[in-house]
Amino acid sequence: MSEHPIQNLMKTAMENIRDMVDVNTIIGDPVETNEG
């Protein structure tokens, strides 16, 4: 196994977050995160 399942999960999560940020940017809503 060259990749851990967690790495694949994190990659998918990051892509989903990026898509959500892109949509929010287009709509114009501010993006709020707990990590500042």
Domain residue ranges of the chain, discontinuous segments joined by +: 1-27
The string of DSSP letters for the chain reads --S-HHHHHHHHHHHHHHHHHHHHHHHTPPP--TT-
Name the pTM for this structure: 0.47
**Predicted local confidence at residue 22, as pLDDT:** 78
Q: pLDDT category, 9, cuts 50, 70, 90?
A: very high
Other Cβ atoms less than 10 A from the Cβ of 24: the count is: 13
